[in-house]
Chains A and B, each alone.
Chain A
Amino acid sequence: MQIFKRAVFTSLMVFTVHLFAFPQLPANIILDKKYYGSLDQVLDQISLEKKVSFSFNKRRLSVIITDGNTINQPLGKLLDQWCAMNQLEWHYNSDGIISIVGKNKTPGKIAPKVEETVKKYTGKPKKFNILISGKITDSETGEAIPYATIRVKGINKGTQTNQDGYYTLQNVPTDTTTIVISSIGYKNGTLFLNPDMPKTNLNNAIEPMSFEVGEVVVSGQKDNTVLNTSGKISTMQMTPKQLVELPNIGEKDIIRVFQLMPGVSAANEGSSGLYVRGGTPDQNLILYDGFTVYHVDHLYGFYSAFNSNAVKDVQLYKGGFESKYAGRLSSVTNITGKDGNSKGFNIGGDISLLSANVYTEIPIGNKFTSLFAFRKSYKGPIYNKIFKQFNNSRQAVQRPSNGGSDGPGSGLGGGRFGSNNFTAQVSSYFYDLNTKLSYRPTDNDIISFSLFNGTDNLDNSVKIDMPSFGGGGMGIGNRSFGSDNSDLTKYGNLGTSLKWSRRWTDKFYGNNLVSYSNYYNNRDRTNNQTITDKDGNETTVKTGALENNDLKDFSFHSDYNWDVSSQNQISFGLKLTKYNINYSYSQNDTSTILNMGNKGMLFGGYLQNKFKLLDNKITIIPGIHTTYYEITGKVYAEPRISATYAANDKLKYIGAWGKYYQFANRITREDILSGSNDFWILSDDQKVPVSQAYHYITGVNYETTDYLFSVEAYYKQLAGISEYSLRFNPNPMRMGTRYEQNFYTGKGYTQGIELLAQKKVGSLTGWVSYTRAQARYQFDVYGDKYFPANQDITNEFKIIGIYKWRKLSFAATWIFATGRPYTAPEGGYAITLLDGSEKTFVAAGEKNSQRLPDYHRLDLAVNYLLKFRNDLNERGNISFSLFNVYNRENVWYKEYQIVDDQIISIDKLFLGITPNITLTLKLK
């Protein structure tokens, strides 16, 4: 509590003064009067009168009293005097801000004192209306920075770097203009143009934001936050650099952080997929370095498949996305992997109660960079907790045998081996591997190879190991007997891409990419009984179910961008994807119940024009994406348009409309008895229609230097959505009766309003978000009425706060969400089977008419920066997290059993209070 009070007190004491316009150099500012009082008051006054920006610790400077001897003195000289007397240093940084800090503390990596004269060019311009182009990189690692903003200081003109860090800015007023570069996770950089410098290949490096900003708050330094809404329509950007500050359950998870934003549902501990604006995770396209990732869950969905140490940048488009992206109804997550440090060898890693994670960056020469990252879970306390949570839930619902055997593989009869004496649990784990190799043969070319492989090996098998006597196994006479129940699930992704990007001219940029993505999911729930007879012949009887899904996606993308003028940009491209999907489900070793093969090709192209009107106040992006889909033989056109209107530099109105199609669908076969399983299939327009959506989006952003307020409303109209059930269907023809898949098709809509208030700057940052939403479906099979979709959450409120103080940061997140809808039983009954046993059944009530209890949870984290005295580099962090602090018993699902003619409902819960500690270390 004391620490908390001190933290709050310090946050109040830290004070910032900032002014704008074009700063004068301290040496040129001559004070024309006497300034009295404490140093903080004097600086406040000077700041107001002389339009200078200062950054300092108010508490510390308030005890320093000045002598008032300031008249006709240059500010630079006075600062030298005040600092020398009080063990302070002052720095004039690239943003024109004077920072005053403790001597030798080097907090926040203040920019070193610069030769002031080389900064702002004071002569007259020679050229007007010029074009500049170049590349923005990280000053420490040399990594290209994607989606950084480049703008002309003082006027409403700017652009963004592309995914490879290149930019082109046209119609820059003069060759002495000041250019400001900003990006999330970085300090603002300033580029002072002068007539002598080249205007192309104008490469610039910006400094990463320091973790430690507690003492010094840099005014005007935007984006000191984990997430950035970036002012674009329904778009959020995140850099994983600062994820370490947020609470976690073992992993710094990029997907979990997006779940803290409005419009993305957070109440899904059991899924790493993104439920964006009432959409399901399969409606969210996930691109990793250009290839599609089809499955994002590790360990039953508690973690995502993305290793944050290998990720540079993530963009989430919540809706109304550009024509470049297609194939999904709801949203796009575009992940850019790290290229690797180009300035020197680096190695680092994390170890938590869940996993160990190591990465290394090896540059060769100045043209080649590489990054390798590997992460593997171990059976530590968190893994075991989640594994048990899931598997206990499943074991609890196994029905008792009714005198006889109730299913396949129960040849051992009624409970003779009713203890655990013979069981042995086998290990489970997940791992992932990321590799990125980049080669830059020229300043204008990048060839990069990216590989991602993540696999979960979930093994809940039980082996019956008979004590050995008289030979191996259960030696009974001259025969032996062994049995093992397999419950093995192995799933994962293998994705790889090879990309060649080229800047053909300053105005024309293109990249070509070939990719391969494979999602595999093999499930083996079988019982093997092996009997060896007296002659040594082995007979193996295999009963149970085998399920296998294998998706292969071969793609070629070609994307081009032409900056016609500063007001006009044209993008176009081609896309080709070939799918090969196989799914099989077999039982009892012999009978294959389902065996589906889907092959299909998508061939598409897009054209988009981005143009600006009214002095760049209005941006309009019309575009169209068309796709030829081989299976249906039809062409699908997706027209889209979005617009923004910047009423002033703070207020922005946005709007978007678009049509979206989806051809590949992920089917979730919900099955608690044997665990849910997913597989992908392609639409055929017969059983499974091609689904489509219309997005309607409007909103207002009000953004100041320190704060962002945003309201967005959306309406999504859905058609051709599918629900699946695998049923044992009687065939009226009697012949060839077999399992059949039922695809129920229907329509729906989602709508909602998202509110966000974010404090972006200072010791205390964070955001409050509220979403009010509806997701409704209508399937004829359930009647004419619209019912709440499984993912429908009415109210969702999130509050996230991060407070930084010296080397410590404290973070808290609280989430509240209306309970999800579910189908409750309305009654139960029993049928006497032919062997005299009774089987009980639960009759379902109205579809999704009930709601689980509201979900809420508080997580806390404390993070300590490892940085040694006189060491400019941060060496890592130690973080301690507490998940679900007040141990809220959030209900995952309900389970029903019929006992003595009564239906009993049992709540199955999500994780309770779970601590975690993570140690992160890095060389650089």
Chain B
Amino acid sequence: MSNFILISHRQRINFKQNIFNFTLNRLIFTLSFLFALYSCTKDDDKIAFNDIPVVESYLIKNNPVSLTVSRKTPFEDNVTLSDDILDQLQIKISYNNQTRIIPSVGKGVYRDPSLKPQEGITYKLEFVFNNQLVTSSTDVPKKPVGFHQSVTVLEVQSFDFSGGFPTGPITIPEPVKLTWTNNDEGYFMVVIENTEVSPVPIRDFGDNTPPGRFFRNEPTQGKQFEIQSMSFQYYGNHRLILYHMNPEYAELYKDNGNSSQNLTNPATNVKNGLGIFTGLNADTLTLNVIKK
């Protein structure tokens, strides 16, 4: 007897339907399986806190070394911090084959009055925090050369906007032009500081909080800066400090974003940490702002 199997037309249809149902069942099964697989990969909602230190230290030529170590403020509550105590860290600064342990003076501040940075020397920072070696390195740039100001005395008329615009003639003097030499595209910044004990305001601030004694430009790779007379808030003596700086300081002025669309970690030159460890050099001029 042959093994030939006769399939009727109806059976054929059923066979086809079975194949279809089988395919459909497999499809549904596969889909369910894939969905189940996806469901297992739920994202963890908790934001992990990476306890790394924040360093702040400016190595200014001939100024004693000072360094502050702090912790970030966590975004979420109940984060786990390392056992490190901020005042009990072993902060080392090495230079010219020497290593100094910088003593703590409390509140996370470390200071060594005997260590005064010098030009052309590379300083390396090293300490352990949260079982990681935190390192950084910088050098003190050259003192600015050719720092020059267009005037030493600036006459500014006092005026008051609080009662509306003044009606009489007001003279706005020419801006104070500061220039310096910059042949290697170095970074410079001018900080203007009023040095009077009790500075006299140029204009009535009304109910507004009086502005600070400092103002500054943004770090620039240029070789000049004009101080508009309207930038001055107070009469009296001012220091015009020109800082020659390393790029890592200039980086601090750049935004790392503060929204969820563009948030990235802030720029830092501290490995396994955050903040700044940078050398600076400065030259200072003075300017007297007097009443016209």
Residues of A at the B interface (CB closer than 8 Å) are 397, 402-405, 407-408, 411-418, 466-467, 469-470, 476-479, 481, 529, 531, 533, 541, 588, 590-591, 647, 651, 670-673, 676, 700, 711, 713, 725, 727-731, 734-738, 753, 772, 774, 788, 794, 821-829, 831-837, 839, 841-846, 849-852, 893-898, 901-903, 905, 908
Contacts and interface: CB of A to CB of B under 8 A. Distances in A.
Interface in B206-263: 208-209, 211-218, 220-222, 226, 228, 230-231, 233, 241, 243, 246-263
B215 A835 contact: yes
A896 B262 CA distance: 11
Give the most central of B184, B248, B260: most A CB within 10 Å.
B260
Nearest to A833: B252
14 contacts: A397-B259, A405-B215, A414-B212, A476-B169, A651-B20, A711-B27, A827-B75, A828-B72, A829-B70, A834-B191, A834-B249, A898-B73, A903-B73, A903-B75
B258 A896 contact: yes
B267 A727 contact: yes
B274 A829 contact: yes
B172 A753 contact: no
Contacts, number: 258
Given A404-B216, A839-B252, A896 B171 contact: no
Given A405-B216, A588-B222, A896-B259, 19 more contacts: A405-B215, A411-B231, A416-B208, A478-B171, A671-B255, A730-B246, A730-B251, A731-B247, A734-B247, A737-B221, A824-B75, A826-B75, A834-B280, A837-B212, A843-B265, A843-B266, A844-B263, A849-B48, A896-B260
B222 A671 contact: no
Nearest to A827: B72
B169 A827 contact: no
Contact of B231 (A397, A408, A413): A413
Contacts of B214: 403-404, 835-837
B230 A413 contact: yes
Contacts of A673: 255, 257-258
Nearest to A736: B185
B123 interface: no
B72 to A, nearest CB: 3
Contacts of A852: 260
Given A728-B251, A794-B38, A903-B75, A829 B54 contact: yes
Contacts of B54: 829, 831
Given A728-B250, A788-B43, A837-B214, A670 B73 contact: no
Q: What 3 A-B pairs come out closest when comparing CB atoms?
A: A403-B212, A827-B72, A730-B247
Contact of A826 (B49, B187, B226, B267): B49
Contacts of A902: 73
A50 B221 CA distance: 91
B75 A897 contact: no
Contacts of A831: 54, 56, 252, 275-276
A214 to B, nearest CB: 35
B260 A413 contact: no
Contacts of A772: 34-35, 38
Interface string B161-173: 1000101011110
Given A477-B170, A826-B48, A829-B54, A728 B254 contact: yes
B171 to A, nearest CB: 4
B203 interface: yes
Interface string B5-27: 00000000000000010000001
A736 B182 CA distance: 11
Nearest to B41: A774
Contact of A413 (B233, B241, B252): B233
Give the most central of B76, B203, B264, B274: most A CB within 10 Å.
B264
Give the most central of A417, A466, A753, A841: most B CB within 10 Å.
A841
B265 A844 contact: yes
Give the most central of A672, A729, A821: most B CB within 10 Å.
A672
A713 B34 CA distance: 10
A857 to B, nearest CB: 20
Contacts of B35: 753, 772
B76 to A, nearest CB: 8
A898 B211 CA distance: 21
A730 B259 contact: no
Given A403-B211, A418-B208, A836-B214, A829 B72 contact: yes
A200 to B, nearest CB: 40
B75 A467 contact: no
B47 interface: yes
A413 B44 CA distance: 46
B216 A476 contact: no
Give the most central of B171, B218, B258: most A CB within 10 Å.
B258
B91 interface: no
B48 A846 contact: yes
A842 B73 CA distance: 9
A833 B214 CA distance: 11
B274 A841 contact: yes
A647 B16 CA distance: 11
B212 A476 contact: no
Contact of A407 (B41, B189, B218, B269): B218
Contacts of A730: 246-248, 251, 269
A894 B260 CA distance: 5
A713 B35 CA distance: 12
A822 B261 contact: yes
B146 interface: no
Contacts of A541: 226, 228
A725 B264 CA distance: 9
A908 B171 CA distance: 46
A507 B187 CA distance: 70
B215 A404 contact: yes
A841 B75 contact: no
Contacts of A672: 257-259, 261-262
Nearest to A476: B170
A392 to B, nearest CB: 14
Nearest to B141: A734
Nearest to B58: A834
B266 A834 contact: no
A412 to B, nearest CB: 6
B212 A822 contact: no
B266 A850 contact: no
A845 B258 contact: no
B242 to A, nearest CB: 11
Contacts of B83: none
A841 B56 CA distance: 13
Contacts of A713: 34
Given A728-B251, A825-B75, A842-B266, A416 B259 contact: no
A834 B262 CA distance: 27
Given A477-B170, A481-B172, A738 B185 contact: yes
Contacts of A738: 185, 221
B203 A416 contact: yes
A924 to B, nearest CB: 46
A700 B25 CA distance: 13
Contacts of B257: 670-673, 842
Nearest to A651: B20
A827 B49 contact: yes
Contacts of B249: 834
